[in-house]
Amino acid sequence: MAEPGPAQEIAQGYVSEGAAVELGAVVIDGKTDAGAAIRLPLATLNRHGLVAGATGYPARRRPCS
């Protein structure tokens, strides 16, 4: 049996049964592995959050004069 690749190892952490929201698939080095789905169970959505943005970057930039 072949060992799973990095994308499959990541996807194993998101395996769930029942109703879930599928966020997409794992992308490594710009290549999507369609067999490595990322899913969050609906029952746990109140415990997950998404934070996006660069740390330390101002929320608003002032135009240059």
Which residue from 24, 28, 31, 16 is spatially nearest to 50, judged by alpha carbons? 24
Tell me how crowded residue 11 is: count the other CB atoms within 10 A of its CB.
Answer: 19
- What pTM was estimated for this model as a whole? 0.51
Read off the pLDDT of residues 12-60 as tens digits, 9 standing for 90 and up: 887 888 898 888 888 889 998 888 888 888 888 777 566 666 666 666 6
Q: What is the pLDDT of residue 58?
A: 62
Q: What is the pLDDT of residue 19?
A: 92
What CA–CA distance (Å, rounded) separates 35 from 51?
A: 25
